[in-house]
C-alpha cells in the first residue's frame, strides 16, 4: 500500500461538507485547506449546490481531476459506500474522520470498510480520528486554524492513537521550537496502524525521528513492531499510556504476575532500541534531542555551569538516570583553569561540573566547552546557562553552537525563562543545538542519546 498520497496530496476531496453549517467538521477542513494550504480542494455533498461560491460535487466521481486524498467526514453508515466511490474514482487514499465504528459498538461497520479497502489495496487512516497534519502543506484536523498552534516544519513525525494528545504535543513542540515533519492521529487504526507508519516514515526523507503515543498494540502487533523498529535506522520513541496493572486479574503463576503487561512492554521495546518516554515531558525532551543528534552515547556527561547549585542538581538528575559525571584528572583541571579569565581563574571549580561562577564571561563558557569537546572521557556536554549573569551575552548560543559544528560532540543547553532570553535560545536552536527550559530536561536530552540503542 502506497501512503505517499496521504501525506503529500496535491488534490483533496472533503466528503460530507454541510451546505448550512459552517462549523461542521468537514467545512472546517475544507475551509482551512482551501484558503490556507497549497492544495486544490473539492467539497462533496450528495445534494450538490455551492459552498463559499465554489461548486459542491454530488459524488467524488464527478470531480474533474484525480483526487489524491479523500477526507471523509460523513455519518458512519454512509462511509462504506463513500469508500467504494473513492476507490472507483481512483483516489489515492482516505482519512476517515467519522466516528461511530468499533469505539461505539459497530465493529461490523469497521470490519466492512477494512474489507472494502483491503480488497483494493486502498489505504485509509482512522476511522474516528483527526487524521494527518503536514506542516505548510495540508491538514485534515477539524480544528479551526486560529485555534491551532502551528509548529515549524521539521524532521519529527508524531503518531498518536489519541487526537487530543497529538494536538497537545504539537502545541508543546511549537513551544520548544521542535519542528514537525508529519503528525498523524490514527484513531481506531482499523487498517493503518503504528507498524505501517513506522515502515513508511523509516523511508520518508522528511522524517528523521519517529515518535508514537501508544495505548496498546493489537494481538502480537507489538512483536512485529519491535522487530521492525530494531531494523529502523532512525530513532523511534514511544510514550505508553496504561502503565498500571489492569484491575485485579487473578494470576496463577509468578511469571504472569512479574511479567505484567507494562513491564513486558517496557523491557522488550528497550531491548529493540526503542526509546521509551515515561511521560509527556520526556517525550518532548527526547524528540528535541534526537531531532538534533542521532549517535548513541554511553552517557559520560561533562557539565559546564555558572552556578554551583545548578551543577549539583544536574549531577543528581544524571545519577538518577544512570549517567556518569566523571571527575577530571589534576592535569586536566590545571589545563582548564589556566586559560580562564582572570576574574574567575582563582574561584572557579573545575573538577566536573565545571562551575565558572557568577563572574564568568562568554569566553569562559566557550573555553570550557571547547576543552570538554576534545576530551575522550566525556561523550556529551550539558551547559547550564544563567543568562542574567552580567558577563553573559546573547551571542553565547551561537558561539557554543559553533563548537559543536567543529568538534561534533553532542551539546545540550539549559536556559531559563524562555521568552525573555529568546535571542540566546535561538542562537542555539537555529544552529540545531537543543535547549531545555529546565535542568532536568537538559539532562533528559543527554539521556535520550544514551537510550537510543538496544539495551
Partner 1 sequence: MLTTEIRDIISASKERGWVLEPEAKRLCSLAGLTVPRFAWTTGLEDAVRFAREIGYPVVAKVISPQVLHKSDVGGVVVDIDSDEKLREAFHRFSQITGFTGMLVEEMVSGIQLIAGAKIDYQFGLVILLGVGGTGVEIYRDVTMRMAPLKPKDVAFMVRALKAHQLLEGYRGSEPISMSELTRTMVAFSDLVMDLEELIESIDLNPITCSSDRCVVADARIMLTAEKA
* 322 in contact with partner 1 (CB under 8 A): no
Smallest distance from partner 1 to CB 254, Å: 5
Q: Which residues of 354-383 are buried (b: 16+ CB within 10 A; e: fewer)?
A: bbbbbbbbbebbbbbbbbbbebeebbbbbb
Confirm or reject binding of residue 299 to partner 1 (CB under 8 A): no
23 binds partner 1 (CB under 8 A): no
Q: Of the candidates 89, 114, 143, 259, which one interacts with partner 1 according to CB under 8 A? A: 259
Q: Does 213 bind partner 1 (CB under 8 A)?
A: no
b (16+ CB within 10 A) / e for 330-345: eebbeebbeebbeebe
For position 218 contacting partner 1 by CB under 8 A, the verdict is yes
Q: Which stretch binds partner 1 (CB under 8 A): 23-31, 258-266, 302-310, 443-451?
A: 258-266
CA dist 414 to 154, 350, 436, Å?
21, 19, 5
E strands present in 321-437: 354-355, 380-384, 411-414, 435-436
257 binds partner 1 (CB under 8 A): yes
Q: Is 338 in the site for partner 1 (CB under 8 A)?
A: no
Supply the minimum distance, in Å, between the C-beta of residue 382 and partner 1: 27
Does position 264 interact with partner 1 (CB under 8 A)? The reply is: yes
**Count of residues that interact with partner 1, criterion CB under 8 A:** 24
Contacts of 433 (CB under 8 A, 6+ apart): 292, 397, 400, 401, 404, 411, 412, 413
Contact 110, 127 (CB under 8 A): yes
Least spacing, CB of residue 199 vs partner 1, in Å: 18
Distance CA 370, CA 397 (A): 14
Q: Does residue 229 belong to the site contacting partner 1 (CB under 8 A)?
A: no
Report yes or no: 222 and 268 within 8 Å, Cβ to Cβ.
yes
| Binding pattern for the stretch 340-369 against partner 1, x by CB under 8 A and - elsewhere | ------------------------------
Give yes or no for residue 205 binding partner 1 (CB under 8 A): no
Using the minimum distance from each CB to partner 1, give the nearer residue, 220 or 331: 220
Q: Using CA atoms, how far apart are residues 324 and 66, in angstroms rounded to an integer?
A: 58
Q: Using CB under 8 A as the criterion, which residues of the chain lie in contact with partner 1 when the complex forms?
A: 216-223, 226, 252-259, 261, 263-265, 267-268, 271
Amino acid at each position: 500500500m502506497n501512503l505517499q498520497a496521504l501525506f503529500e496530496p496535491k488534490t483533496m476531496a472533503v466528503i460530507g461538507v454541510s451546505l448550512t453549517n459552517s462549523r461542521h467538521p468537514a467545512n472546517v477542513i475544507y475551509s482551512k485547506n482551501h484558503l490556507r494550504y497549497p492544495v486544490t480542494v473539492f467539497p462533496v455533498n450528495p445534494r450538490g449546490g455551492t459552498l463559499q461560491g465554489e461548486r459542491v460535487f454530488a459524488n467524488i466521481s464527478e470531480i474533474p481531476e484525480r483526487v489524491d486524498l479523500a477526507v471523509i467526514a460523513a455519518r458512519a453508515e454512509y462511509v462504506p459506500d463513500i469508500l467504494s466511490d473513492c476507490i472507483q474514482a481512483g483516489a489515492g487514499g482516505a482519512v476517515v474522520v467519522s466516528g461511530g465504528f468499533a469505539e461505539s459498538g459497530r465493529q461490523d461497520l469497521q470490519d466492512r470498510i477494512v474489507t472494502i479497502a483491503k480488497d483494493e489495496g486502498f489505504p485509509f487512516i482512522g476511522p474516528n480520528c483527526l487524521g494527518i497534519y503536514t506542516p505548510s502543506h495540508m491538514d485534515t484536523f477539524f480544528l479551526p486554524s486560529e485555534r491551532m498552534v502551528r509548529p515549524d516544519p521539521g524532521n519529527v513525525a508524531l503518531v498518536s492513537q489519541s487526537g487530543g494528545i497529538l494536538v497537545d504535543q504539537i502545541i508543546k513542540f511549537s513551544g520548544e521550537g521542535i519542528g514537525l515533519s508529519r503528525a498523524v492521529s490514527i484513531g481506531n487504526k482499523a487498517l493503518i496502524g503504528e507498524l505501517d507508519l513506522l515502515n513508511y516514515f523509516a523511508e520518508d526523507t522528511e522524517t528523521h525521528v519517529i515518535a508514537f503515543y501508544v495505548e496498546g498494540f493489537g494481538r502480537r502487533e507489538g512483536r512485529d513492531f519491535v522487530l521492525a523498529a530494531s531494523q529502523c535506522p532512525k530513532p523511534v520513541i514511544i510514550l505508553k499510556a496504561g502503565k498500571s496493572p489492569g484491575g485485579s486479574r487473578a494470576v496463577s503463576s509468578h511469571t504472569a504476575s512479574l511479567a505484567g503487561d507494562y513491564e513486558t512492554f517496557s523491557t522488550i521495546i528497550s531491548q529493540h532500541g526503542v526509546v521509551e518516554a515515561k511521560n509527556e515531558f520526556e517525550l518532548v525532551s527526547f524528540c528535541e534531542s534526537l531531532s538534533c543528534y542521532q549517535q548513541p552515547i554511553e552517557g559520560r556527561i561533562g557539565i559546564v555551569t555558572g552556578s554551583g547549585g545548578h551543577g549539583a542538581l544536574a549531577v543528581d538528575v544524571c545519577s538518577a538516570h544512570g549517567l556518569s559525571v566523571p571527575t577530571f584528572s589534576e592535569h586536566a583541571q590545571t589545563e582548564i583553569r589556566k586559560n580562564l579569565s582572570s576574574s574567575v581563574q582563582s574561584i572557579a571549580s573545575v573538577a566536573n561540573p565545571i562551575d565558572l561562577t557568577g563572574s564568568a564571561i562568554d569566553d569562559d563558557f566557550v573555553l570550557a566547552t571547547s576543552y570538554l569537546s576534545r576530551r575522550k572521557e566525556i561523550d556529551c556536554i550539558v551547559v547550564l546557562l544563567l543568562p542574567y549573569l552580567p558577563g553573559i551575552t546573547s551571542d553565547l548560543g551561537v558561539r557554543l553552537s559553533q563548537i559543536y559544528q567543529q568538534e561534533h560532540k553532542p551539546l545540550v543547553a539549559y536556559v531559563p525563562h524562555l521568552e525573555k532570553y529568546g535571542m540566546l535560545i535561538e542562537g542555539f536552536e537555529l544552529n540545531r543545538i537543543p535547549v531545555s527550559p529546565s535542568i532536568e530536561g537538559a539532562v533528559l536530552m543527554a539521556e535520550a542519546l544514551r537510550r537510543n540503542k538496544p539495551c
